[in-house]
Amino acid sequence: MAEQPSPPRAIGLAGAVLINLNGVIGSGIFALPALILAGVGTIAPLVVLAFAVLVLPPMLVLGKLSTGFDQSGGPQLYVERAFGPLAGFLAGWGLLGQNLAARAANFLVLVAYLAALFPVFDQPLVRSLTVAGLIGCFTALSMVGTRASVGGLWVGTLFKLGPILLVCVAGLLTNGVPQTVRLPVFSDVEAIALLLAYAYSGGHLVTVAAGEVADARRTVFRAILLNLAVIALFYAFVVWAYAAIDPPDVNADRPLASAGQAVLGTFGLAAISVAAIFSTGTNQLSYFVSMPRVLFGMAERGLLPAGLGRVHPRFLTPANAILAYAALVLVLALSGTFATLATFMVALEALVLLAAVLALPVLWRRRHFTITGWRAWAWGAVIAAAVAFELWMEAQAPVEALLPTLGVLLAGSLVYLLARQRGRTKKA
C-alpha cells in the first residue's frame, strides 16, 4: 500500500502571524475599548501595553517549545512528549472540547451580527440554515488547501481591521489626542486584568498547525512574538482613539459602533458593523484552519483512530479531521449543547496551557532542549513567571466549574483506557 502524501508546508511567517492575529482578535475588540477605558481611565493604552509584558512569559515558553518540534499539535503535542500519551490525550480532549464550544457559540454570534443588518436572519429556521451554511463554507475553504484558507484570512482581515483603523484615524484627526482625564477604578483592577488576559489569548494558535508551517522550528516562535507586538500596539491605538472620540451616546452592546457613528455618521456605524461580521468570521476561519490539525496530529501518533489522519489526495489537507471537527461544531451549534460544554470546559484551557508550560523544564531536563549558561537562569525566570500567570488564570475559573472539569478529565481518561484496551484485544 502506497504511503499517503503529507500536507505541504504552505504557511510562511506572514501567514503564521495572520493565523495568530485572527485567533486573538474576534468579536471582543468591539467592546474592549469602552470596558478598559471605564476600568482604568486615561492610562488605558499604557495598561494595555503593560499587560502584554505579563502575557509575554507564557508566549515565550510556548515559542521555545515550538523550536523543538515541527509536527502539528501545539500544546497537546508538548504535553504528550513531556508527560506521556494519557496526558497528551487529555490535553487534546480539553483543548478540542473548549474550542468546539467556542466555535459553536461564535457562529450564533456571527448570525446575530447579520440579523442586526438583515432581520430575516433572526428567524429560527433561517438562523439554523445560515449556521449550517456558514459551517459548510468554512469547511470547504479549509478542505481545498491551506494556501486558499490563508488567502481567505488575508481578505477577511482587510475588511476587519480596515474599518476599525479608518474610524480610529478619523476620530484622532477630528478630535485630536484625548484631553479628558479619567481616574482608574481600583476596585475593577482584577476584572480588567482578566478581561485583558482573555483579549490576548490565542496568540499561539499557529503552534497547532506547525506541521504545515515552512521552517516551523524558527517560523512559529517568530510569529508568536511578532503577533504579540502587533496585537499590543493595535489594542493600545484603538483604546487611545476611542478615548479621543468619547462618543456621547454609547450603545452598551456595541460601543465601537457608537464611536464609528459619532465620527462618520451612518457610514461609520455600517463600517463597524461590517467589520464585526468579518472579525468574527476570520476568527472562526483561523480555528478551522488550525484546530483540525490537533485531531490529525493525535491520529498520526496513535491517540485517535487512524482514519482521522487521512490526507486528501488532491488538496493535501487533513480531510477527515476537518470534516469531523466541522460536524462536531454543527451538532453543538444546532443543539444548543455548546453552553453546557462551555461550562464544563471553562477551567480546562488554562490547565492545558499550564501543563504545556511545565513541559518545557521536563523536556529541558531530558535534553530535548539545550539551554546552558546565563540563558538557563533567564529561561528559569521566564518559566517561573509563565507558571505564575497560568496559575492565576486557573484561579479565575468559577468554583462551580471545578467539579465538572474533574468529571471531563475522568471521562477522557476512561475513553482513552477503553480505546487502549480495545486496541490490545484486536491485536491479540
Residue 343 has pLDDT above 70, yes or no: no
Domain spanning 13-420: CATH 1.20.1740.10: yes
Residue where the block lists cell 451612518: 266
Q: How far apart are the first and last CA of the chain?
A: 23
* Mean pLDDT computed over 318-341: 86
245-275 pLDDT, tens digit per residue, is 988 877 767 889 889 999 999 999 999 999 9
302-322 pLDDT, tens digit per residue, is 898 889 999 999 999 999 999
Give the separation between CA 380 and CA 182, rounded to whole angstroms. 39
Q: In terms of pTM, does the model score above 0.75?
A: yes
Give the separation between CA 318 and CA 293, rounded to whole angstroms. 7
Give the separation between CA 262 and CA 249, rounded to whole angstroms. 8
- Crossing angle of helices 13-24/216-245, nearest 10°? 50
Q: How confident is the model at residue 396 (pLDDT cuts 50, 70, 90)?
A: confident
pLDDT of 180 = 67
Q: Which helix (H) or strand (E) holds 230?
A: helix 216-245
Nearest to 284 by CA among 353, 330, 231, 237: 330
* Mean pLDDT computed over 279-296: 95
* Mean pLDDT computed over 173-200: 76
What whole-number percentage of the chain has pLDDT above 70?
92
Q: How confident is the model at residue 179 (pLDDT cuts 50, 70, 90)?
A: low
Give the separation between CA 25 and CA 202, rounded to whole angstroms. 9
Across the chain, what does the average pLDDT equal? 89
Phi-psi region of 202 (alpha: psi -120 to 50; beta: other; left: phi over 0): left
Phi-psi region of 336 (alpha: psi -120 to 50; beta: other; left: phi over 0): left
pLDDT of 105 = 87
pLDDT of 290 = 96
Residue 427 has pLDDT above 60, yes or no: no
* Mean pLDDT computed over 402-407: 75
Q: How confident is the model at residue 178 (pLDDT cuts 50, 70, 90)?
A: confident
* Mean pLDDT computed over 204-213: 96
Radius of gyration for the alpha carbons in the chain, expressed in angstroms and rounded: 22
pLDDT of 27 = 82
Look up residue 243 and give its three cell numbers: 478615548
* Mean pLDDT computed over 328-356: 79
pLDDT of 412 = 83
DSSP 27-93: GGGGTHHHHHHHHHGGGHHHHHHHHHHHHHHHHHHHHHHHTT--SS-THHHHHHHHH-HHHHHHHHH
DSSP 145-190: -HHHHHHHHHHHHHHHHHHHHHHHHHHHHHH-S--------GGGHH
pLDDT of 184 = 63
Nearest to 341 by CA among 399, 404, 394: 404
Least trusted range by pLDDT, from 124-138, 252-266, 312-326, 339-353 = 339-353
* Mean pLDDT computed over 366-388: 93
Least trusted range by pLDDT, from 203-207, 341-345, 352-356 = 341-345
15-74 pLDDT, tens digit per residue, is 999 999 999 998 888 888 888 888 888 888 999 999 999 999 999 999 999 999 999 999
pLDDT of 1 = 43
